[in-house]
Structure 1
């Protein structure tokens, strides 16, 4: 059996950049909205990229902007951010088997840059590489995706913060549909059939129910727990 030819690190990095370009189209308006809302709340052009650069996780960033006030409710923001970002624990656990061979100096930056989009693209790429008989995880591909998303997100949100104070209510522009559209595309790439998708459905129903009946970000852990429990019992039945 002939061994597949491995692409160079530079080729893999460029492939990551190329593959994430459609995602960026959906991210740009959302990053602008985040920056604009932050600017209208009083966040400076320095504070916005500091927040998005140190806490690279869109959902908790929007929660932070929503809570931004003077005096700053630091403990509340930290608590809500932690609650929303707990999903990264599960994402990291799913990725761990494929990166455990890497040295810690490479693993930590990779996990810092991990977002829903880069994680989903990495997992989809792992399945493609498995079918092609290639090493399952390409760090260079992952970095091409993650670094591109990171730079675009931070810069665009900073631009939004700069122009935010002179604009009106951007929520009325309808850009909010961009992010859900991106996630639908990502889910389509991970689709394996209805039975494997049952945890997604359980997570969606639980998160929607809690979102409609309670205040705060409790819908995030509720959806996560429902998905995990469904996957656990589904695995036992398999």
Structure 2
């Protein structure tokens, strides 16, 4: 680890610090994931490995719910794949700032990339300063989120059956609220607003679909409407 006065260390610590307010959003979600995983048929080892290697809160939550419902494996894979497609957009946004880094940096940063880390990191990269170590900022944010998520998931697994009917507590509302809070600053154009509103409306309309297929439908609806709105904006039919 760099010396305290080293700019790399300063960026790393700043990334952890700026991510701190978002850590609490993972607390109830991680606990509930662990509690549900413990009663869904997954072994503790399998649940821990999923948390450590998948590291995708929404996908893990959906996956254990589908496992508990004895959903076909193909549906589980398809649903989690669609949910995680947003990370391709995150990566495309950050690529211009990371393209010159060696693979030993880009691979772990890609693995650790989460919604929260993207939200704080993209603002850091967009700041106009001469720092050559902004990737250390992303690393700090990533490590903070990773350790935080593993801790709460493990605690949920340990408590397991001691948390009766965890889903009925309503604590999982913390994650959607966190997502909304992260999305709002990026809604600066009409196409993005159309995408967000369409996906939100579609998710409500398709809530009753089996196997959580409403997530897949809503994702495609949001993307399609956003692309259409962007095309209309380019032709001047709507404002950007």
Match of 1:3 in 2: none
1:167-186 pair list within 5 angstroms: 167-186=163-182
Equivalent-residue separation in structure 1 for 2:152 and 2:90 (angstroms): 25
* TM-score of the superposed pair, with normalisation by structure 1: 0.84
Q: CA 1:139–1:74 in 2, change beyond 3 Å: closer, same or farther?
A: same
Q: Are residues 1:210 and 2:202 paired?
A: yes
Equivalent-residue separation in structure 1 for 2:122 and 2:132 (angstroms): 9
The answer on whether the counterparts of 2:94 and 2:122 sit within 8 Å (CA) in structure 1 is: yes
1:133-148 pair list within 5 angstroms: 133-135=129-131, 138-148=134-144
SS at the partner of 1:46? helix
1:82-231 pair list within 5 angstroms: 82-127=81-126, 129-130=127-128, 133-135=129-131, 138-188=134-184, 190-191=185-186, 196-214=188-206, 215=209, 216=213, 217-218=215-216, 219-231=218-230
How many residues are treated as equivalent by the alignment? Answer: 226
After TM superposition, the structure 1 stretch with the greater mean CA deviation from structure 2, 178-187 or 49-58, is 178-187
* TM-score of the superposed pair, with normalisation by structure 2: 0.83
The answer on whether the counterparts of 1:114 and 1:146 sit within 8 Å (CA) in structure 2 is: yes
Structure 2: gaps (5+ residues): none
- The offset of 1:159, in angstroms, is 1.6
RMSD of equivalent CA atoms: 2.4
Structure 1: gaps (5+ residues): 1-5
Match of 1:41 in 2: 40
Equivalent-residue separation in structure 2 for 1:52 and 1:233 (angstroms): 41
Q: CA 1:71–1:184 in 2, change beyond 3 Å: closer, same or farther?
A: closer
Equivalent-residue separation in structure 2 for 1:69 and 1:178 (angstroms): 22
